Structure 1
Amino acid sequence: MSGTLDGRVVIVTGAGRGIGASVSRLFAEQGAKLVVNDLGAGPDGTGGDEGPARDIADEIVGAGGEAVSDGGDIADTATGKRLVDLAVDTYGKLDVVVNVAGILRDKMIFNLDDEDWDAVIRVHLRGHFSTVKPAAAYWRQQRNPDGHFRIINFTSDSALQGSPGQPNYAAAKMGIIGLTASLANALGRYGVTANAIAPGAATRLTATIPQDKQLRSSERPADDDSRSPDNIAPLVTYLASEASDWISGRTLGAAGYGVTLWNNPEVRASIASDGPWDLDDLAAQMEQEFRPLADGLHPSIFMRQVPK
């Protein structure tokens, strides 16, 4: 699929390291023109260094590609607007937004400080809003229902499987799934698709998670080639291409050499009463209809099962 992104203009946040850097490199190899953003902060979001974003842009340009860099804080909405303007001013248009940037501040819920909750929610949720709002406004102005425009967000298995030591991160990442569905429904008429990716790869962020706190998908050694961030980039590249018009509003997983399609939330069963519920009747019907199904939901993540 050489050149599958020829001429497409892309913004990638969190592009200086890890998955974002791998995505940016493959995009450039496939002919994309890039605006790469990275605050250059630590895994917990503190500090800042324009070097990582500048370095990946220089690497791409040195290899014959096109890229410009920005070292701003993506959770500042002015940064998102600046990135969209930079893409349009530099390359004349914008086709794709890829929101990779994120941080971790892991603690059990009973030990979690207000600041750690707010910081993680801010970077992930406002960080996505920061780029998506001005990009959506730009695409709406184009009035091109065949524009092949793309929003590619990043969620996590931590949300989908309920990582116990990451309540702030899990909440933010599940919020991104809801945001993605909303964007798909709202922006399809303007030629925009929106999808979310739950990646499994060895990065600076995953390296901060103690082994006994990691989900099963992260248990392989960090030096295992199957856990390279490079393995996430092909899926992102396909979704960024014009060939992916058929998929929107979905969550996909990418880990190792596999790709998965997650179910959207769906009703598994329902019960009803002829009038206001009698509590005993409600309990009896729930036990009969819901309990056999609920007992089978994600059994591996529960510390204990409710006794029968």
Structure 2
Amino acid sequence: MVLAIASLSFAAAAFSAYPERPVKIVLPYPPGGGGDLVLRNLQQALEKQLGQPVIIDYKAGAAGNIGTLDVVNAAPDGYTLLMGPTNNFVINQFLFPKMGFDPLAALTPVSLLVEQPYLVTITGALPARDYAGFADYAKAHPGKLNYGSPGAGTVPHVSALMLSDQLDARMVHVPYKGSQPGVQALVANDVQLLIASYGIVAGQIAAGRIRAVAVAADQRLPALPQVPTTAEVGLPPGVILANWWGIAAPRGTDPAIVERLAGAFRAAVGDPDVQRKFVEQGTLPVANSPAQFADRMRNEARAWKDIIARTGVTIE
């Protein structure tokens, strides 16, 4: 009995000391994308909460599967975390038959951090000035337009595919390695459509090089009050899909550490300076609990399984 009490006391002391060294967050995409903006906004506030440096480790490739697998195989000690978008938690397992792991089983949810409503953006080289104009142009030029994405199997890829089907435009998919190359391709008119979060296209919109013609949100973004919602332009629900970014740890991470992390991220997301930056970038803060994030993952995985089956998209 004395030995058991001593063991519990030692474990409690170890958890209260966590973290005792820097925490690494694996971002499975190149720098400059939507998740990178979110993480960099949070980094300083998170370091204050944890009392340790937070290191961002970019491990891009295979629609985020390479970096995600790195975390799946990491020690469950709270020092290696995953910062991933919707597809790495609830989509890729249905797109990649040979992925080799189920994120819902291989990862421990910590917190869904933010929602990032997607914009429908078009190149400024098109004659279209709004969504109706783009829809008419795409319908009139079937098979002649390209759409970019930050990678095959990402939410922007599947959303643009469904939009192309909705318009019967037969647009051609051009995948890039991350968001920024896709933005540059849109500016150069190599692609004519890109589904993207506001933070990564804000400068190009302001410069008039690209146009935002709709936002997939319940309300217009405060940063873009002139851009109508997808509902306002007549797009059915579920064509342009939602994206979010969340934090997870390897399976087997102690619940006490998970709760410590969740509290730190919640406080960082609630920091007034962080909130201001999120509003400027069209990002909606969430920072829910591990249990709430787990429920969200399970529910959305079921929905995405149906979407993938309906669209017939698979990636080897």
State the TM-score, normalized to the length of structure 1: 0.32
Looking at secondary structure, tell me which structure has more strand per residue. 2
The higher-RCO structure (CA 8 Å, 6+ apart) is 2
- Give TM-score, length-normalised by structure 2: 0.31
